[in-house]
Amino acid sequence: MSFFKLNFAQKNKLGVDIGTSAVKIVELSREAGRFKLENYALFQLEAIERSFAGEQSNSSSPSAFNDADLASGIKETLKRAKISTVDAVASIPSFNTFATVISMPYLSETDIAKTIPFEARKYIPIPLNEVVLDWSIIGVNPPAQQIAPNDKEVTNTPKPPSVDVFIVAVPKDETQRYQGIMKQAGLNLRALELENSAMIRALVGNDLSPIGIVNIGGRSTSILIVDRGFERISHNYEVGSFEITKAIARALNVSLKRAEELKRTLGLKNENSGMITAAMSSLVDLIVFETKKIMHNYEDAKKVKISKVLLIGGLANMPMFMDYFPKKLGLPVSVGNALARVVFPVQLEPLRQELNSTFAIALGLGMREI
């Protein structure tokens, strides 16, 4: 299965984002060069929440529950939303994949294709015969003058041009598993795509400047650096919104359900109980610390400045979060606008912020070119 080539015969298509807390689905059409939101649906994965309460396995990946139940839930959700489109693009969670950017000598695509497997072995920790491997050229670096050993003189022999290649590998058992889920749900899976690639498509558009994206999910936080429109660094930090809910539950000795309610309704408001604020802010501060570290490392290595950070995930809708997070980070932070290039019914305008933060990956999947 290719992660970079796709062809649809059907006018409408679905973006199916299987997350650790919910399955987000959007149905998009395209008319006169614009995407149009035809429908959307969300299927909460309650089994994941029960696993955090100790009623199931401690695993928080989609594997913690039965795939047949997941497929049945998707099928029922589509039925209730009256979605009849069956061609779909689904996401692979970033923590299930291996992705990196490497620089190689400027070669023909045929020669690069022959070289990639040898280079990939240096970065992929499992045997190549156990993964689906794909790659794409994302940049060409022109010849550069070489510096002499004394670092003072420039030699007459320029360094040859090179190319930046994005390599992705997904375990075969994961691709087969997602194919099975989609088939049981009655959908035609046309492509699996990295959730980061879908997120970039939805949020970045034609912006070529260095951008940081922070995706706070249920299980973990994905910190992504995008430069010239392509993923350069992706780092998963094992703290997400569920950890914050659990911290509130422990601090107040309340149920996870009650802790989730407090998180959603009170957030980081000043009038909160001190224990709630302390429980939440300590974990948010860790996410900020990791974000700063990843950004500073990239800035130092590439001699660039990241001046913009986009945030997605349901936590962005928590009261006062968008005041607290930018202040701690020391940079402007905005909620990613995945609907910027999508036409949608005016009656959904009050839900714009929630749709942007929750359905960004699903929208990016649906935007994949026909």
Q: Are 136 and 113 in contact (CB under 8 A)?
A: no
Q: Does residue 307 belong to any structural domain of this protein?
A: yes
Give the residue-averaged pLDDT of 316-328. 91
Q: Does residue 118 belong to any structural domain of this protein?
A: no
* Beta carbons within 10 angstroms of residue 23's beta carbon: 22
Q: 353 to each of 3, 289, 312, 322, how far by Cα in Å?
A: 29, 25, 10, 12
Counting the structural domains of the chain, the total is: 1
Output the pTM of the full model: 0.82
Residues in a beta bridge with 234: 224
Q: Does residue 279 belong to any structural domain of this protein?
A: yes
Q: Does residue 153 belong to any structural domain of this protein?
A: no
Q: Does residue 122 belong to any structural domain of this protein?
A: no
Q: Does residue 42 belong to any structural domain of this protein?
A: no
Q: What is the pLDDT of residues 141-199, one digit of tens each?
A: 777 655 555 555 555 566 778 888 999 999 999 999 999 999 999 999 999 998 899 99
CATH number at residue 295: 3.30.420.40
The amino acid at residue 311 is: L
Residue 62 has pLDDT above 70, yes or no: no
Q: Does residue 1 belong to any structural domain of this protein?
A: no
H or E element, residue 158: strand 154-159
Q: Which pLDDT score, from 0 to 100, does residue 107 have?
A: 82
* Residue in 212, 193, 211 with CA at minimum distance from that of residue 94: 193
What is the extent of the structural domain holding 215?
206-336
Strands (E), 2-110: 13-18, 22-31, 34-44, 87-92, 98-105
